[in-house]
Amino acid sequence: MKKIKIICLLFGLIGYGATVNAQSNLTIEASSLYTSFNFTDSQGNNLNDEYSGIFTGTYGMGYRYISMDGIIINAGVNMRKGGAIMEYDAMNYSWDLQYADARAGIGYMYPLDIINPYLSVSGYFAYMLRGFQTINNENFNIKKSGSLKNTDFGILVKPGVQITLSEAVSTYLEFNYLMGLGNIESDEGQTANNVAYGLSLGISFSITNN
């Protein structure tokens, strides 16, 4: 219930921020991610250290408002990969997941001149388009087996810096921390959450100035 309240509060702030006078921008970005799982078994044992992360990527496009006071409102859609690897009892396990997600958030940009630092927090909802688990050399279709849930939700924290190239075009670099709040594990009593760290490079095109 607390997780749902966090998401509801975030989207409430988005609705408030959308009323401010803002500049409209179209954004396109690509990211490099290091993804893994936070996992707790049915006995309550935290097994996060048993999993090793993998390097994946994501890309997407979005819509960003920046107010005269530096308030940021953003929304977008992304294609994102996830997964992890694990070695247990001389067996090698790996997960390869592909998500489509929608995200929306609010933040603040400290306006300087050409280089403008900012911090943004977003909520996301994701749907797994495909998923495979490999045990040694044998592959299993996660979508067909239902061993993981198809949906996920959580929070993205993104500190970054925007660099103005012209009145119409800017580029930006972000650090991403993704914290899954939804339990993607299907087995009763076990919990698994997506987690990821990464860097995004994007470009922002100004549409209008209000």
pLDDT in tens, 138-182: 999 999 989 999 999 999 999 999 999 998 999 999 999 999 999
The residues with which 155 forms a beta bridge, in sequence order, are 123, 179
Instruction: Identify the pLDDT of residue 148.
Output: 94
How confident is residue 21, by pLDDT bands cut at 50, 70 and 90?
A: very low
* The token pair that represents 154 in the structure block: 């959580």
The predicted model scores a pTM of 0.83
- Domain containing residue 52: 2-209
- CA 88 to chain CA centroid, nearest Å: 28
Instruction: Identify the pLDDT of residue 1.
Output: 52
Share of the chain above pLDDT 90, in %: 70
Q: What is the mean pLDDT of residues 52-71?
A: 94
pLDDT above 50: residue 93: yes
**What CATH number has the domain bearing residue 171?**
2.40.160.20
With a CB cutoff of 8 Å and minimum separation 6, the contacts of 175 are 158, 159, 160, 197, 198, 199
* The token pair that represents 57 in the structure block: 């990527």
pLDDT above 80: residue 15: no
- Distances in Å between the Cα of 68 and the Cα atoms of 64, 122, 158 are 13, 21, 21
CB-side neighbour CA atoms (13 Å) of 186 = 10
Instruction: Identify the pLDDT of residue 22.
Output: 59
- Between 8-12, 89-93, 127-131, 203-207, the lowest mean confidence (pLDDT) is in 8-12
Mean pLDDT, the chain, as a whole number?
88
Instruction: Identify the pLDDT of residue 188.
Output: 84
Domain count of the fold of the chain: 1
